[in-house]
Amino acid sequence: MNKYLETNKKLWDEKTKVHVDSAFYDVAGFKAGDSSLYPIEEAEIGDLVDGKTMLHLQCHFGMDTLSWARRGAIPTGVDFSSKAVTQAQALSTELGLPARFIESNIYELPDKLDETFDIVYTSYGVLAWLPDIRAWGQLIGRYVKPGGFFYMAELHPFSMIFEDGEDGRLQADWPYFHTPEPLEWEVEGTYADLDAVMDTEKQYEWVHSMGDIVNALVDAGLQLEYLHEFDYTVFQQFKIMQKEGRLYTLPEGAPRIPLLFSLKACKPE
């Protein structure tokens, strides 16, 4: 397991520089005042964060964390990439947006952080990097204050079984249900720059079904308030997708499938 996680960490250290320089992340626009948040999370919890403490798990280089700070949250971001945390701290200082950033594998976070938060948050492309979804749920339950909530917006696990087919259609190639051993992928660029050349040759990902995700939170003592599904996504997941603003959709005539989901789960007082 350490081999898989260390390889992924090395890859995300590499990805950070590529992402900071990419048009996808548009750091210049962010520095000028743009938000990196997407309409889903802005509409669903944007009005709830002002004055609230927030723990942002797998925060990458901090743009979403700092976007929440702009909306009045008091955020702490966590990521296992040292390069990402360094960049996040630099952005926070440069823009005068108060936020704390901690370098940690989330499973080891209790060794470095001993408090609770009004909101625990995570989003977009995070779960595939986690080998143990039940331990993830327990971690969230540990950090949400009584009366607080957990919120996430994420790639829908059903969409992850598909691959581009030769005839322009999607074909089911990948498992839906979790297995202890990860899927091994050859690294070919990154979602933010498909042509980027990486020194790290492999990456390892785990699949988690929707049932496993929800049950991990319920087993941790959280109560599901809602689960929403969406037929658009935040990156070009398939070649046939069409871009609409910052979002991507399948072309007209293609079957509508869930591409993203969001959920909110509360901790009883």
- Give the rounded distance of the alpha carbon of 267 from its chain centre: 21
CA 202, CA 167: separation in Å to the nearest integer?
Answer: 28
List the chain pLDDT tens, one digit each, 269 residues: 589 999 999 999 999 999 999 999 999 999 999 999 999 999 999 999 999 999 999 999 999 999 999 999 999 999 999 999 999 999 999 999 999 999 999 999 999 999 999 999 999 999 999 999 999 999 999 999 999 999 999 999 999 999 998 888 899 999 999 998 999 999 999 999 999 999 999 999 999 999 999 999 999 999 999 999 999 999 999 999 999 999 999 999 899 999 999 999 999 99
Backbone angles phi, psi at 104, to 5 degrees: -170, 140
**81: domain range?**
2-266
How many domains would you assign to the chain? 1
CA 47, CA 50: separation in Å to the nearest integer?
Answer: 7
Contacts of 136 (CB under 8 A, 6+ apart): 106, 107, 127, 130, 216
Per-residue pLDDT at 115:
97
Burial of 164: CB neighbours in 10 Å, binned 0-12, 13-18, 19+: middle
What is Dmax (Cα atoms) for the chain?
A: 53
Question: Which letter, b or e, does each residue of 33-54 get, where b requires 16 or more Cβ atoms within 10 Å of its Cβ?
Answer: eebbbbebbeebbbeebeebbb
Per-residue pLDDT at 1:
59
Contact 99, 129 (CB under 8 A): no
Per-residue pLDDT at 168:
81
> Which CATH number characterizes residue 29's domain?
3.40.50.150
Closest Cα to residue 46, out of 57, 55, 33, 37?
Answer: 37
Contact 50, 75 (CB under 8 A): no
Closest Cα to residue 81, out of 104, 101, 97?
Answer: 104
Type and span of the H or E element at 43: helix 39-45
CA 258, CA 212: separation in Å to the nearest integer?
Answer: 17
